[in-house]
Structure 1
């Protein structure tokens, strides 16, 4: 069963700097997010500046699709990669010459 994980965090409205937000994200959030990714769970993330934005950016780089939902949050889902290979022969491409009139 896939779980839905809520992620939220601090932002500039709490009197913290962008540098502090980024440091907190790198030190505390990335490891936990990676664990959730490994469990193949989905996320729901707030839509404010600060940690919420960093989480969404990070999830996009990890192959997650962001879907904004009406309640002010963003739902994410891992995009499936198609790794199907076929043994079909490549089809030759024949360039066509443009018609020239005299």
Structure 2
């Protein structure tokens, strides 16, 4: 690979192609929908009876719920703000941030 250098003042646009800075290859789409609306985390289209847990980043369990017969659940997250939380089910784990 050849090295190319330009003064930063001369660069008008810089584009990276095929870069995955997180090295996360994507989450398999299961059809389950997660929505953060106001003070509630809503889950829809999950497998009925799915357990949903919300943890702090240090692993403290804050709240949990089980989806109903329609695969839906609502978890209250009032009082949680300005931090990152981990949502975990048997099939997916991801982070949320409530502003």
TM-score strictly above 0.5: no
Q: Which has the higher contact order (CA 8 A, sep 6+)?
A: 1
Larger radius of gyration: 1
Could you state the TM-score of these two structures normalised by the residue count of structure 1?
0.26
Specify which structure has the higher proportion of strand.
2
Could you state the TM-score of these two structures normalised by the residue count of structure 2?
0.27
Specify which structure has the higher proportion of helix.
1
